[in-house]
Chain A
Amino acid sequence: MTNSIEELHNNRRTQRGFAMKRCVKMLAAAVSAVMLFPVCAVPAHAEGSIEDVCDAIREIGYPEECVKTFMNEYETRPHDENGMYVGEDYWEYIDLAENIIIFRDLIDGKLAAFMGVSPEAVKTADPSAFVSLLPLLTNAAPAATTAPAAAVTDENGQTVSQTTVTTVSGSEAPVTTAVTNGGTHTKEQEAAFVNMTLEEKQAFISSLPEDQRAAYFAGLTPAERKSLLKQISKDAQADILKDFVEAGETFGMHVSIDKIGDGQIDFSVRDSDGTLIDSTSFGSKVDDTGWDMTLPVIGSAGTILLSIGGFGWTAYRANKRREEVLNGEN
């Protein structure tokens, strides 16, 4: 491996900087939510390692199956302790990881735009500016009280003010209640957001003060991103998919979307020579391992029945002719 990687190093082209169209094949597979989580944009090791790339893949919400596919492919490509070859180009792990995170931001921007929030504002927003509110969704009869909850202190000893808002009655309208943790995107917040319908998510985002809407998107968790991506319109999903496909093209990775449906996206990836590198789907997949034999079975059964019927008819005619001959002689 060392010899081959040295030879490749002699001919390599290293491209640095943000290159949106730089995409390893698994990026094209991901139409999952890309989460902006700036804390994790910093690789664990200063020099970068393959684990940093895997962590970046997980950060943007890719399932573990995608990480496994990536590692399987990684083992077949020339690599060393600092980087690996993607196509003909050598990429250092730290650059790969950073570009994955940057690519995630692009998706976050599109999601924000879909929800009526400026993508530019999301880029510059501070996720910690979002004061976590815990939306409580209920199908029960409306509550009429609006008594403020008791004040609670956060981990820094600061008192976090709370407001309780009770909205109009009806099972469709969300009831929001502030939480007291002083943080952003708590587990409760995440669970509540994930469980919302798209309309409820839009209502929730709209209910936030304007300065906090972008902050919310700047702090999306992978689960929140995933849930949003599944719910946005087909046109919006196709737009995000198009970005993934175009991203692969620049690096000689030709991605083709084979099938979208049943909550699954099947795609194929080919290299610059046209060699099929992978044919898989985003997320784990149960394959179709049975042929539909309805037509051959019914067709053959029908043919057999017709044949037997034909024999019967032929025998009947022959018998009738024999009788006619006999009657004619008599």
Chain B
Amino acid sequence: MAKTKDTNQEAQKRSGALGYFLTPILLLALCGGLAVLCYSLAPAHDVQRYLNLAFMDTLKVTSTTSGLNIRHRDIKTDDQNTTEDKPKLQEGKINYPTFGEQYAKLEAKSINLMVGVYYGVNSELLSRGACQSTQSAIFGTVGNHIIDAHVNTFFAELHNLAVGDTVTMYTDYGKFTYEVTEKIEFNKNDKKYVGVTKDDVLTLYTCAPQVIGSSDTRIGVRCALKEKEFYEPLES
């Protein structure tokens, strides 16, 4: 009887130890799963900002694309470059960007969006900000200005832009204000909105949000130029 009692106590001790061992592992797995799920569903660039802070920027990815030269221009987004006394220049000097250069900032106050715009599109630049197609018109010239960004990051709220909202492009040579004229939706094989135009339009697009898999549908907006302001006159 005493021996049976001892065996039972031994068994109980072992099973209790198993619980003590498993519980923290399960807890870790649960927390990790929740963290990955949140990172997957939330705009990743917001999470990335805190990760950079937590890990002292060591998670920032340096350029991995061979030959890609990423540069940033000093772009002011307030009106420091102009004063009320100076007439606003309708024509002016344009500083043309090179591939990989962040040469503009896009602001849409209605959706609390402020993002840097890189000239050129590849996967690495898309992970850093919005990208402008090299086949589109540079801001300050007339044509279709095509900008896209990941729906998982910077353009997560793009679908909330409404007709009439203002989109402002800041560059180091001028400020260009657009107004949303239509919301667009198209298939990735439809090139209607990414071609050359004669009018000055701004096209913003991203993938349609989809939890599982990647969508073939693109959503976005088309905007018409409302106001332009150059900071320096054309060279004579």
Contacts and interface: CB of A to CB of B under 8 A. Distances in A.
B19 A317 contact: yes
Nearest to B212: A294
A314 B19 contact: yes
B26 A285 contact: no
B160 interface: no
Contact of B65 (A276, A277, A292): A276
Prevailing SS type, chain A contact patch:
helix
A284 B135 contact: yes
A203 B204 CA distance: 46
B36 A300 contact: yes
Interface in B188-236: 188-191, 194-196, 205-215, 218
Interface string B125-154: 010000101111110000100001111100
Interface residues of B, number: 73
B112 interface: no
B34 A304 contact: yes
B134 A303 contact: no
Given A69-B135, A293-B152, A307-B33, A317 B214 contact: no
A283 interface: yes
A66 B135 CA distance: 7
Interface stretch (B46-54, B80-88, B93-101, B174-182): B93-101
Interface residues of A, number: 53
Nearest to A304: B33
Interface in A232-282: 262, 270, 273-280
A307 B26 contact: yes
B12 A285 contact: no
Contact of B196 (A65, A76, A324): A65
A68 interface: yes
B156 to A, nearest CB: 11
A140 interface: no
A39 interface: no
Interface in A297-330: 297-304, 306-308, 310-311, 314, 317-318, 321, 324-325, 328
B23 A65 contact: no
A65 B146 CA distance: 12
A246 to B, nearest CB: 20
B155 interface: yes
A290 B207 contact: yes
A219 B147 CA distance: 39
Contacts of B8: 324-325, 328
B218 A68 contact: no
A141 interface: no
Contacts of B196: 64-65, 67-68, 284
B190 A276 contact: no
Most-contacted residue by chain B among A76, A275, A293 (CB, 10 A) = A293
A299 B120 CA distance: 33
Nearest to B19: A314
Nearest to A322: B12
B68 interface: yes
A234 B15 CA distance: 66
A145 interface: no
B212 A278 contact: no
B30 A303 contact: yes
B66 to A, nearest CB: 7
B3 interface: no
Contacts of B213: 292, 294
Contacts of A279: 99, 120-122
A46 interface: no
B56 interface: no
A139 B208 CA distance: 40
Given A75-B94, A284-B191, A317-B18, 19 more contacts: A72-B134, A274-B67, A276-B68, A278-B134, A280-B121, A285-B133, A286-B191, A287-B131, A289-B148, A289-B218, A290-B151, A294-B212, A297-B41, A297-B212, A303-B32, A303-B33, A310-B29, A314-B26, A324-B8
Interface of B: 5, 8, 12, 15-16, 18-19, 22-23, 25-27, 29-30, 32-37, 39-41, 44, 65-69, 94, 96-100, 120-122, 126, 131, 133-138, 143, 148-152, 155, 186, 188-191, 194-196, 205-215, 218
9 contacts: A68-B137, A278-B134, A284-B195, A284-B196, A288-B207, A292-B214, A293-B152, A298-B212, A300-B33
Lowest 5 A-B CB distances belong to which pairs? A290-B207, A303-B33, A307-B30, A300-B36, A276-B67
